[in-house]
């Protein structure tokens, strides 16, 4: 795994030890950023199931100002911190060991909103539609923000969740990327 583009292009990233996480492949990561970017002019991102931190770190390399990383696995949190340090990006990040539900509740208290949210939960524990609904109900996504989900190819997410519309869905092997944005009113 490596950073594909941006300021930190080419730097290697460590994977989380063991088999508890499934890292996003470089091919899938590159596709995600070609769809949503490829570069950013600031903003704050949330990497809710951070794993190794690859998606959030890629966003930082491509111009996002700050990323909040959350994972409940101790090894994942250590890996994110090590990868951030190795890439000299620790000052642009907050890393928390927490489950997604508690993390969302904590974020609600901070009066913060995100321009970019990554949801890549373990395939066996996915409740993506419910989490997107909570995130939008509480205005955690900025008006022109994007939610990127990574899920098992067998999972079919609704075309609309609250005020968000699925604008793109691409499948790579057993992984599907679905991207949600607020519907544009002309």
Assess whether pLDDT exceeds 80 at residue 59. Answer: yes
SS (H, E, C) 18-39: CCCCCCCCHHHHHHHHHHHCCC
106: three-class secondary structure by DSSP: helix
Question: Which of 12-21, 63-72, 134-143 reaches the highest mean pLDDT?
Answer: 63-72
Any idea where the domains of the chain sit in the sequence? Answer: 26-182
45 to each of 17, 41, 63, 66, 71, how far by Cα in Å? 25, 12, 11, 6, 14
Which helix (H) or strand (E) segment is 118 a member of? Answer: strand 114-119
Whole-model pTM: value is: 0.94
Check residue 183 and give its pLDDT: 72
What angle in degrees, to the nearest 10, is found between the helix axes of 128-137 and 100-108? 10
The pair of structure tokens assigned to 4 is 């594909």
| pLDDT tens, position by position, 78-127 | 999 999 999 999 999 999 999 999 999 999 999 899 999 999 887 766 78
Fold of 26-182: Rossmann fold (3.40.50)
């Amino acid at each position: 795994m490596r950073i594909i583009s941006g300021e930190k292009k080419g730097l290697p990233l460590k994977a989380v030890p063991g088999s508890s996480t499934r890292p996003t492949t470089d091919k899938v990561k590159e596709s995600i950023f070609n769809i949503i970017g490829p570069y950013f002019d600031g903003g704050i991102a949330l990497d809710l199931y951070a794993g190794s931190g690859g998606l959030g770190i890629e966003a930082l390399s491509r111009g996002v100002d700050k990323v909040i990383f959350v994972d409940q696995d101790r090894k994942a949190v250590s890996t994110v911190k090590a990868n951030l340090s190795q890439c000299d990006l620790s000052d642009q990040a907050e890393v928390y060991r927490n489950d997604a539900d508690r993390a969302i509740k904590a974020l609600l208290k901070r009066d913060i909103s995100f321009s970019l949210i990554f949801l890549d939960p373990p395939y066996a524990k996915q409740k993506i539609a419910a989490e997107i609904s909570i995130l939008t109900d509480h205005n955690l996504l900025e008006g022109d923000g994007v939610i990127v989900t990574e899920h098992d190819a067998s999972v079919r997410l609704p075309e609309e969740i609250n005020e968000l519309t699925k604008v793109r869905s691409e499948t790579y092997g057993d992984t599907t990327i679905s991207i949600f944005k607020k519907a544009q009113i002309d």
